[in-house]
Amino acid sequence: MKKNSERAGDAVGCLIAHGIEDVVICAGARNAPLIVPILEQECFTVWRHFDERSAAFFALGLAKRKGKAVAVVTTSGTAVAELLPATIEAFYSGIPLFLLTADRPERFRGSGAPQAIDQEKLFGEYAEYCDDPAETLDWDQRVPLHLNLCLEEPEPILGGSISPTRYSLPEKSESSQTVRLPQFPKNTVAIVGELPAFLRNEVLDFLRKLNVPTWCDGSSGIRESAGLNLVLDESIFQSMDIEAVVRFGGVPSLRFWRDLETREEVMVHNLTHTAWSGLARESTTSTIQEGTVFDSTGLSDHSGSRTPESFVSPPTTPEETAIRKFSEIIPEEALVFLGNSLPIREWNRAATIETPHPNCFANRGANGIDGELSTFFGLSRGEQESWAILGDLTTLYDLNAPWVLDQLGEGKRRIVVINNGGGKIFSKLPSMKGFSEEQKFVSENHHQLRFEHWAAMWQMEYLKWDGSGDFPQPKEQMSVIELKVEGK
């Protein structure tokens, strides 16, 4: 049986083989044998966090921005279970997370001994599972990987004494892909969800050729691109005679997409890097990847489609007006992160198209609310300026995210918290529109909390704005702007 130091060295060698550069460590007694060899490797940038859930979402943000795998290292027990929310998000978003978890020896499973839970295949279908480092070498980085390392009771660890085993990945042949598209009927619309950077030019070129009414999520990176027959207000779709929908990228956030569940007469074709159709009804799906070429031979001529001007609508609420202002003052080169549902929808509808925001992101793989701030901080690493626009409940879900701030280095970071006293998006759902005031109070999680003291706790500058007049100018590198519009 290998010693802890040998097994740890093997595991770290696999991180190196997969080209991992960032390792997020949540330290504990059981994973101590892993910490020493990780810290000794110059190829790693090491991040530390005390909360495994936030750490995993921070790693998710790092991986989303870089397009490369990031590792999270935890101790045993419920610490491992805290990785599940971010793992699910990564699974549905196609983001590579390497989950390296320490475990007590197999003989403790089922015993109820301290910090001994059954960690084997804990994440189910949401992560590939290995308990031998060598088994990780076949990982294609399309879904998360869980390497669970059973370690004996920790032995004394001496710095400089552990040398990780070097592994080599099997050679992969370079391949290109040509996707032959069906012949879309005249009354076709396009919907674009989140697009990784390597797909944007190809998708944009094709959409310009297709020239159909096109709705783009802010996270697509092409929402403000010239030459698109752009739809900003999805309600326009309700009045159109639509025969087919072609969707690119991730599953979109708009209501019209969900309505397609019951409109089976509308043909839906998905072109996505995640392989998910996003619908429970029948549709066709083609998986696209880096280097994909779209064969548009035989496409119908859609040159008679309506012009973009007929689809543009002004903001209709005070919050949308504030979102419009944010989109106008945020520099084009700045990173923008939207979370969760209401800010995303308000940005998609109301943000200006005069100023492009190609570096716009959101967590929409599983449409979850947790870990949004941590994801934002991971995304902001290395950026000169980054903005997060969040709801109040979304912020409350991740109040310990600023733990990593002193590790991130320079860069302006702005957190806009839209505080409307609860989850107002629920009142917009068809199933809740008839709720009484008492029912709304419960379903929307009404509150009277403010975020000034939270900002002070993490030494972040605090500003308050009601959406009217000039926007308050932040003076510090890290600022919290609480947006409290009139009547909210």
Question: How many whole angstroms separate alpha carbon 87 and alpha carbon 91?
Answer: 6
Do residues 248 and 134 both lie within one domain? no
pLDDT for the residue numbered 311? 54
**Is residue 170, in this structure, part of any structural domain at all?**
no
Tokens of 390: 């969040």
**Structural domain span for residue 458:** 318-483
**Is residue 284, in this structure, part of any structural domain at all?**
yes
pLDDT for the residue numbered 427? 61
Q: Is the pLDDT of residue 398 over 70?
A: yes
Q: Is the pLDDT of residue 229 over 60?
A: yes
Do residues 81 and 30 both lie within one domain? yes
> What is the domain-level CATH number for residue 75?
3.40.50.970
Do residues 56 and 91 both lie within one domain? yes
Do residues 257 and 337 both lie within one domain? no
Nearest Cα to Cα of residue 203 among 260, 133, 273: 273
Question: How many whole angstroms separate alpha carbon 58 and alpha carbon 370?
Answer: 12
Q: What is the pLDDT of residues 282-335, one digit of tens each?
A: 999 988 888 788 876 656 666 545 544 445 568 888 899 999 999 999 999 999
Q: Is the pLDDT of residue 139 over 80?
A: yes
Do residues 425 and 295 both lie within one domain? no
Secondary structure of the chain: what % helix, strand, coil (to 5)?
A: 35, 20, 45
The CB density around residue 174, as the number of other CB atoms within 10 Å, is 5
Which is more confidently placed, 197 or 145? 145
Do residues 12 and 145 both lie within one domain? yes
Do residues 329 and 435 both lie within one domain? yes
User: 3-class DSSP state for residue 172?
Assistant: coil
**Is residue 166, in this structure, part of any structural domain at all?**
no
Neighbour-count burial of 470, counting CB atoms closer than 10 A to its CB (0-12 exposed, 13-18 middle, 19+ buried): exposed
pLDDT for the residue numbered 310? 47
Tell which of 124, 150, 176 closes a domain. Answer: 150
Do residues 353 and 389 both lie within one domain? yes
Q: What is the pLDDT of residues 4-36, one digit of tens each?
A: 888 999 999 999 999 999 999 999 989 999 998
pLDDT band at 431; cut points 50, 70, 90: low
Nearest Cα to Cα of residue 72 among 121, 105, 38, 42: 38
Do residues 435 and 362 both lie within one domain? yes
Do residues 106 and 135 both lie within one domain? yes
Do residues 248 and 331 both lie within one domain? no
Please report, as a single letter, which amino acid is at residue 402.
P
Question: In this structure, what DSSP letter does residue 474 have?
Answer: P
- What percentage of residues in the chain have a pLDDT greater than 70? 91
N-to-C CA span, the chain: 63
Do residues 69 and 199 both lie within one domain? no
| Residue ranges in 271-361 assigned as alpha helix (H) | 318-329, 341-350
Q: What is the pLDDT of residues 367-378, one digit of tens each?
A: 899 999 999 999
Q: What is the pLDDT of residues 306-320, one digit of tens each?
A: 544 445 568 888 899
Predicted TM-score (pTM) of the model is: 0.93
Helix (H) and strand (E) counts for the chain?
Answer: 14, 20
**Is residue 155, in this structure, part of any structural domain at all?**
no
**Is residue 234, in this structure, part of any structural domain at all?**
yes
Question: How many whole angstroms separate alpha carbon 72 and alpha carbon 152?
Answer: 21
Into how many domains does the chain fold?
3
Matching residue, tokens 């702007």: 481
Tell which of 311, 327, 348 closes a domain. Answer: 311
> What is the domain-level CATH number for residue 254?
3.40.50.1220
Q: Is the pLDDT of residue 159 over 70?
A: no
In degrees rounded to 5, what are phi and psi of residue 27? Answer: -75, 150
**Is residue 118, in this structure, part of any structural domain at all?**
yes
Report, as an integer, the average pLDDT of 151-156. 75
